[in-house]
Copies of this chain bind each other. A is one copy, B any other.
Amino acid sequence: MGVRSVAISACGRVLQRAFSLHSAHSTKDMENFFQLVRNIVPALTSKKHKGQDGRIGIVGGCQEYTGAPYFAGISALKVGADLTHVFCAREAAPVIKSYSPELIVHPVLDSSNAVEEVEKWLPRLHALVVGPGLGRDDLLLNNVRGILEASKARDIPVVIDADGLWLIAQQPALIHNYQKAILTPNRVEFGRLWEAVLNSPVDTQGHSDSVLKLSQALGNITVVQKGEHDLISDGQQASAHYWWLPGVLAPSQGSVIIRLSRSTGAPQPPPT
């Protein structure tokens, strides 16, 4: 796993750049952020073998969208995971493969036995990221539904983003009450989820109370609303207004895994 020191250095550069755009933050803040990132990256040790520090599955990638699953996969590797498997539509596979020889890419997501093809890998995966570059094709969405059910049956942590959230908005029961799910909606996706789950237009967009309420309505699963300031709730905390990295990173592709790490390794919020 020679990527770790590179990952730490790369994370450092990303944070430095982000901070340079937000000069109001103090040096101490920056050090806290560096420490957060360092805590996420597994320690480099010769005692481990490849795979022990994380085997991540990405479910997404279709005819139109190939960049998002690549960014999700390569980000997982850059912050310390050992292996990434991308499960995508047949047509997307050679393109995603060609972006990097470090990804293992399975052209199965639009096949008639997609669920079985992914299911046989699930015992080897530590977490799934569902949705980057998924699109809204019914065949793919139906296969992803089966993959989500299989993942739940195996108690595998799942981060759901992008059109994975579109699927959840159509069938919230798919993920309801599954404590190992993390949803990462942007503002539009948040509104869509809210309307699907609470049967009303969202009233206070961009407010931590809304995130708490949506999380609770989904059975206390973790919701991270991306924005200028990220809002996060696990349905327990009444106020859950954190920000971890400056919002400039929020809308960018490839932020999925950084967010996963932030949300799963969540420290205490600073006093407000």
Verify A1–B251 contact, CB threshold 8 A.
Answer: yes
Whether A139 is near chain B, meaning CB under 8 Å from some CB there, is no
Given A104-B64, A104-B67, A252-B1 contact (CB < 8 Å) = yes
Whether A164 is near chain B, meaning CB under 8 Å from some CB there, is no
Query: Closest CB of chain B to A159's CB: distance in Å?
Result: 19
Verify A104–B65 contact, CB threshold 8 A.
Answer: yes
* Assembled-state Cα–Cα distance A187/B49 (Å): 9
Given A67-B101, A98-B95, A101-B71, A44-B248 contact (CB < 8 Å) = yes
* Assembled-state Cα–Cα distance A102/B98 (Å): 13
Verify B66–A97 contact, CB threshold 8 A.
Answer: yes
Query: Closest CB of chain B to A195's CB: distance in Å?
Result: 19
* Assembled-state Cα–Cα distance A107/B62 (Å): 12
Q: Smallest CB-CB separation from A121: which chain B residue?
A: B64
* Assembled-state Cα–Cα distance A186/B49 (Å): 9
* Assembled-state Cα–Cα distance A252/B46 (Å): 11
Given A67-B102, A94-B95, A46-B1 contact (CB < 8 Å) = no
Given A44-B248, A247-B46, A105-B228 contact (CB < 8 Å) = no
Whether A2 is near chain B, meaning CB under 8 Å from some CB there, is yes
Query: Closest CB of chain B to A102's CB: distance in Å?
Result: 6
Q: Smallest CB-CB separation from A85: which chain B residue?
A: B64
**Residue numbers in B under 8 Å from A45 (CB-CB):** 248
Query: Sorted from nearest, which 5 A-B pairs have the closest CB atoms?
Result: A67-B101, A50-B251, A98-B98, A95-B97, A46-B247
Interface residues of A (CB under 8 A from B): 1-2, 5, 17, 21, 44-50, 63-67, 70-71, 82, 91, 94-95, 97-107, 186-187, 227-228, 246-253
A selection of 17 A-B contacts at a CB cut-off of 8 Å is A2-B17, A2-B249, A46-B228, A46-B248, A49-B186, A49-B187, A50-B253, A63-B107, A64-B104, A64-B106, A65-B104, A67-B100, A67-B101, A67-B103, A82-B251, A91-B94, A98-B98
